[in-house]
Structure 1
Amino acid sequence: MSDQMSVHHATYELLRGLGLTTVFGNPGSTEQTFLRDFPKDFTYVLALQEASVVAMADAFSQVIGRPALVNVHTAAGLGNAMGSLVAAYDARSPLIITAGQQHRHMMITEPYLTNRDETLLPRPWVKWAYQPVRAQDVPAAFMRAYAVALQPPAGPVFLSIPMDDWAEPALGPAVIREVSKRVAPDAARLSSFAERIDNSSRPALVFGPEVDRAGGWLAAVALAEKLKAPVYNAPLSDRVSFPEDHPLFQGALPLTIDGVSKRLAGHDLVVVIGAQVFRYYPFIPGRYLPEGTELLHVTCDPDAAAYAAAGDSALGDAKLAIELLIEKVAARPADVAPAPLAWPRQVPATSNSPLTPNEAYAALSDVRPSDAVLVNESTSTMVQQAEWLPTVRSGSFFASASGGIGWGVPAAVGVALGDRERGVRRPVIATIGDGSFQYSVQAVWTAAQHDLPIVFVVFRNGEYSILKSFARLEDAPGVPGLDLPGLDIASVAKGFGLRAVHADTTDEIREQFTLALDADGPTVIVIETQPQDAGLG
Structure 2
Amino acid sequence: MAQPHGTGAPPRSVRDATLDGLREYGLTTIFSNPGSTEVGFLTDLPEDLRFVLALHEGSVVGMATGWAIARDRPALVLLHTTAGLGNAVGALATARVNRAPLVVLVGQQDRRHLALEPFLAGKLRDLAGDYPVRVEEPATAQDVPGAIARCRHAAADARGPALVIVPMDDWAAPAESDRVVAAARHVTRADGVEDAGVASLASLLNEADAPALVTGAGTDSEEGWAGLVALAERIGAPVFQESFGARAGFPQDHPLFAGFLPADRPGLRATLAGRDAVLAVGAPVFRQYPYTEGPLVEPGTRVGLLTDDPAEAYRSPVETAVLAPIPAALRLLARHAAARQWTAAPHKDTTTIEAPERPAPGQPMLPAHVLAALAERVPADTVFVEETPSSRPEMHRRVPARRPLGFLSAAMGGLGFALPAATGVRMARPDRPVIAVVGDGSSLYQVQALWSAARYGAGVLFVVLSNGRYAVMDRLAERHGGKPAWPGFPELAVSGLARELSCPSQRVEALDDLVAILDSVVPTLREREEPLVLDVAVAAEADFSGI
By the TM > 0.5 criterion, same fold?
yes
Select the residue among 348, 369, 384 that pairs with 1:359.
369
Question: Match of 2:245?
Answer: 237
Residue 272 (structure 1) aligned with residue 280 (structure 2): yes
Aligned residue among 464, 481, 489 for 2:494: 489
Match of 2:505 among 487, 497, 500: 500
Mean alpha-carbon deviation: is it higher for 480-489 or for 495-504?
A: 480-489
TM superposition shift of 1:479: 3.0
* Equivalences for residues 341-380 of structure 1 within 5 A: 341-343=348-350, 345-352=353-360, 353-380=363-390
When Rg is computed on C-alpha atoms for both structures, the one with the higher figure is 2
2:206–2:337 Cα contact (<8 Å) kept: yes
CA distance in 1 between partners of 2:297 and 2:429 (Å): 40
Aligned pair partner of 1:430 in 431, 436, 459: 436
1:455 to 441, 449, 461: 461
Take 2:282 and 2:335, find their aligned partners in 1: how far apart are those partners? 19
Query: Which amino acid counterpart does residue 283 of structure 2 have in structure 1?
Result: A
- Contact in 2 for aligned 1:426/1:453 (Cα 8 Å): no
1:179-328 to structure 2, matched below 5 A, reads 183-185=191-193, 187-213=195-221, 215-328=223-336
Native 8 Å contact 1:200 1:269 kept in 2: yes
- Where do residues 410-421 of structure 1 align in structure 2 (5 Å cutoff)? 410-420=420-430
Are the aligned partners of 1:516 and 1:522 in contact in 2 as well (CA < 8 Å)?
Answer: no
CA contact (8 A) 1:219 1:323 kept: yes
Determine helix, strand or coil for the equivalent of 1:251. Answer: strand
Structure 1 residues 527 and 196: CA distance shift in structure 2, 3 A: same
Kindly state the Cα deviation for residue 236 of structure 1 after the two structures are TM-superposed. 0.9
SS of equivalent to 2:266: helix
Question: 1:511 and 1:197, CA in 2 relative to 1: closer, same or farther beyond 3 A?
Answer: same
Correspondence for 1:399 among 386, 399, 409:
409
2:540 is aligned to 531
Letter in 2 for 1:364: L
Distance 1:321 1:468 in 2: 45
CA contact (8 A) 1:214 1:318 kept: no
Match of 2:514 in 1: 509
Q: Deviations over 1:216-244 (max 9, x none)?
A: 11111111111111110011111101111
Q: Separation in 2 of the partners of 1:489 and 1:262?
A: 41
Cα distance in 2 for partners of 1:512, 1:232 equals 35
Deviations 1:153-192 (A, max 9, x none): xxxxxxxxxxxxxxxxxxxxxxxxxxxxx94446324112
Distance 1:327 1:348, change over 3 A: closer
Shift of 1:214: 7.8
Contact 2:218/2:307, CA 8 A, preserved across alignment: yes
After superposition, what is the alpha-carbon deviation per residue over 1:379-398, rounded to whole angstroms, capped at 9, x for unaligned?
A: 11111111221100012211
Q: CA deviation at 1:349?
A: 4.2
| 1:96-115 equivalences in 2 (<5 Å) | none
Percent of aligned positions with the same letter in both sequences? 31
Whether 1:338 aligns to 2:338 is: no
User: 1:41-75 CA distances to partner (integer Å, 9 max, x unpaired)?
Assistant: xxxxxxxxxxxxxxxxxxxxxxxxxxxxxxxxxxx
Shift of 1:533: 2.5
RMSD: 2.5
SS in 2 for 1:367: coil
Gaps of 5+ in 2: 1-125, 135-157, 159-189
- Are the structure 2 counterparts of residues 210 and 364 from structure 1 closer, same or farther at C-alpha, using a change threshold of 3 Å? same
Structure 1 residues 340 and 288 mapped into 2: Cα distance closer, same or farther (>3 Å)? closer
- State how far apart, in whole Å, the 1-side matches of 2:529 and 2:204 are: 54
Mapped partners of 1:235, 1:368: distance in 2: 24
Cα displacement (A) at 1:407: 0.6
Q: Deviations 1:15-45 (Å, cap 9, x if unpaired)? A: xxxxxxxxxxxxxxxxxxxxxxxxxxxxxxx
Structure 1: give runs of 5+ residues left out of the alignment: 1-119, 129-151, 153-181
Distance 2:206 2:507 in 1: 55
Amino acid at match of 2:256: L
**Separation in 1, partners of 2:251, 2:222:** 16
| Structure 2 residue identity aligned to 1:309 | P
Residue 136 of structure 1 is matched in structure 2 by none
RCO comparison, higher one (Cα < 8 Å, 6+): 1
2:398 corresponds to which residue? 388
| 1:480, distance to aligned residue in structure 2 (A) | 1.2
Superposition deviation, residue 350 in structure 1: 3.0
CA contact (8 A) 2:237 2:342 kept: no
- Alignment partners' CA distance in 1, 2:486 and 2:192: 49
Q: Contact 1:212–1:394 (CA<8 Å) still a contact in 2? A: yes
Three-state SS of the structure 1 residue aligned to 2:429 is helix
TM score, norm. by length of structure 2: 0.61
Instruction: Go from structure 1 to structure 2 and tell me whether the alpha carbon gap of 1:221 and 1:400 turns closer, same or farther (over 3 Å shift).
Output: same
Does 322-331 or 310-319 show the bigger shift?
Answer: 310-319
Q: How far does the alpha carbon of each residue in 1:454-486 deviate from its partner, in whole angstroms, 9 at most, with x for none?
A: 00000001111122233344x252331152221
Q: Deviations over 1:182-211 (max 9, x none)?
A: 944463241122122111110000011111
Please state whether the residue corresponding to 1:201 is helix, strand or coil: coil
Task: Tell me how far 1:247 sits from its aligned partner.
Answer: 0.6
Contact 2:241 2:261 in 1 (8 A): yes
What's the TM-score once normalised by structure 1's chain length?
Answer: 0.63
- 1: CA distance between counterparts of 2:319 and 2:508? 48
1:239 & 1:211 partners in 2: Cα distance? 9
1: CA distance, partners of 2:462 / 2:299? 45
2:530 alignment partner, one of 513, 518, 521: 521
